[in-house]
């Protein structure tokens, strides 16, 4: 047992060390970060180029409104008194002012220039609404406290009630959970595609170079099978750790007043903690299942030229779970989606999606996780047998036919 563990650790470490030094691995890790960096730089440059000076607004309104606008800090603008409409039109035409606000008998009129830096219509409306309420309150002899009470919105606690029970958080938590699930679905698909190809190439490369005979002379097939899996899983965990570290560092340097940052944080703040934990567990088990399945299929290939043919069905299977995620919201009672949310290889995306939309009960989650664990155990035991039988066998012709014949031979041997 000690010898097995020592050899397993050596194969794991060797697989990890060889792959982590390759340009391909770091291209996989860094390319999304570089793309994000380029997008961030372009966004920063675009924002910097779009940042003009404060808007210059011509005013033809009551003096009390002039004082209110100047005292308001939400609107970044300079104000000039323009008492004549013709003069205001000339100033707008010659870009001396960006906007012109006029008060008339029915309300207000706002003119914005097509160029320059005109004032935001929604911002000025908000100030005008507040000003109008204050004037009406004064007419009704209301105090500021009375006006505050009158305009304060009532507090409301929202709960989602379904056949599965009652949950706190309402639509905000529900939406945040679902957005995270869809985002994870995209991430899982891209992540699996990369690492499925990596482990397939790892096994196919050694098999095509005929080095496997030498390796198996020194170690057992079990050591090679599980060692390579553990090494690739280790690379995947390092990959995730790098992204977490980069995310934490970025959080410290990104402006918290940035609109995009606020939008992302509003989504993350709505995510339920238990939902996040369950999702991480199911995603991890899902990735392990796909890697084991890939290792089994990769043992059937003869050389690198057959790798793409071998991993294509696995890629399609991963895509199935991702695509069906979008059906959960539109068809929450769909029987097929419900069944597939328990089935390993699709449950890692469908079950979190149903959980995010509060369509499941706790025992359903544990059933899905237990089925994932059982599938990992089955694939490990069955996959090792397939690996032992095929790792030194070189099949000619169609890969699918060779795989079927190999499985038939394996079952015949077990029945004997």
pLDDT of residue 158 exceeding 70: no
pLDDT of residue 315 exceeding 70: yes
128-153 tens-digit pLDDT: 888 888 777 777 777 777 767 767 76
Across 13-27, 291-305, 356-370, the highest mean pLDDT is recorded for: 13-27
Please report the pLDDT score of residue 167 as a whole number.
45
Query: What's the mean pLDDT in 188-215?
Result: 75
pLDDT of residue 178 exceeding 70: no
Query: How many Å is the Cα radius of gyration of the chain?
Result: 31
Q: Where are the beta strands (DSSP E) in 72-163?
A: 77-81, 99-103, 108-112, 159-162
Q: Which residue has the higher pLDDT, 12 or 204?
A: 12
* Cα distances (angstroms) measured from residue 175 to each of 169, 266, 320, 334, 415: 10, 11, 22, 20, 52
Please report the pLDDT score of residue 165 as a whole number.
42
Q: Which residue has the higher pLDDT, 121 or 47?
A: 121
pTM (2 d.p.): 0.68
Nearest to 395 by CA among 312, 311, 301: 301
| Domains recognised in the chain with CATH numbers | 55-143 (3.40.190), 169-415 (no CATH)
What is the C-alpha separation between 404 and 400, in angstroms, rounded?
6
Q: What percent of the chain has pLDDT over 90?
A: 9
Element (H, E) at 225: helix 221-253
Instruction: Find the Cα–Cα–Cα–Cα dihedral 24, 28, 33, 39, rounded to 10°.
Output: 90
Query: What's the mean pLDDT in 278-283?
Result: 86
Instruction: For residue 234, name the pLDDT band (cuts at 50, 70, 90).
Output: very high
48-88 tens-digit pLDDT: 665 556 788 888 888 888 888 888 877 878 888 888 888 88
Please report the pLDDT score of residue 112 as a whole number.
85
Q: What percent of the chain has pLDDT over 70?
A: 76
């Amino acid at each position: 047992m000690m010898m097995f563990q020592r050899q397993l650790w050596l194969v794991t470490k060797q697989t990890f060390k060889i792959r982590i030094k390759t340009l391909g691995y770091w291209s996989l890790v860094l390319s999304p970060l570089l793309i994000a960096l380029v997008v961030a730089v372009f966004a920063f440059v675009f924002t910097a180029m779009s940042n003009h000076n404060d808007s210059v607004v011509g005013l033809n309104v009551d003096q009390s409104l002039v004082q209110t606008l100047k005292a308001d800090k939400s609107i970044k603008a300079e104000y000039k008194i323009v008492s004549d409409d013709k003069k205001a039109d000339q100033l707008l035409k010659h870009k001396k002012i960006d906007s012109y606000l006029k008060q008339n008998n029915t309300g207000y009129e706002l003119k914005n220039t097509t160029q320059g830096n005109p004032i935001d219509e929604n911002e000025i409306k908000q100030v005008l609404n507040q000003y109008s309420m204050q004037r009406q309150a004064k007419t009704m002899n209301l105090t500021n406290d009375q006006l505050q009470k009158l305009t304060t919105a009532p507090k409301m606690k929202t709960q989602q009630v379904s056949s599965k029970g009652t949950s706190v958080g309402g639509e905000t938590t529900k939406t945040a959970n679902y957005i995270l699930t869809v985002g994870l679905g995209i991430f899982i698909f891209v992540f699996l595609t990369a690492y499925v190809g990596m482990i397939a190439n790892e096994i196919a490369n050694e098999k095509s170079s005929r080095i496997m005979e030498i390796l198996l002379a020194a170690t057992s097939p079990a050591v090679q099978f599980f060692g390579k899996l553990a090494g690739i899983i280790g690379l995947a965990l390092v990959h995730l750790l790098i992204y977490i570290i980069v995310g934490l560092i970025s959080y410290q340097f990104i402006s918290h007043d940035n609109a995009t940052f606020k939008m992302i944080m509003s989504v993350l703040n709505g995510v339920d903690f238990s939902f996040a934990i369950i999702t991480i567990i199911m995603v991890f088990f899902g990735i392990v299942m796909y890697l084991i399945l890939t290792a089994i299929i990769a043992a059937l290939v003869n050389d690198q030229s057959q790798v793409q043919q071998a991993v294509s069905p696995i890629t399609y299977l991963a895509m199935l779970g991702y695509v069906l995620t979008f059906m959960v919201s539109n068809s929450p009672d769909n029987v097929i989606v419900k069944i597939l949310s328990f089935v390993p290889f699709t449950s890692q995306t469908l079950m979190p999606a149903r959980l995010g939309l509060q369509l499941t009960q706790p025992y359903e989650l544990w059933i899905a996780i237990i089925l994932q664990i059982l599938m990992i155990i089955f694939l490990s035991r069955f996959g090792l047998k397939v690996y032992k039988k095929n790792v030194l066998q070189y099949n000619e012709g169609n890969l699918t036919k060779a795989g079927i014949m190999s499985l038939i031979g394996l079952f015949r041997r077990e029945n004997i």
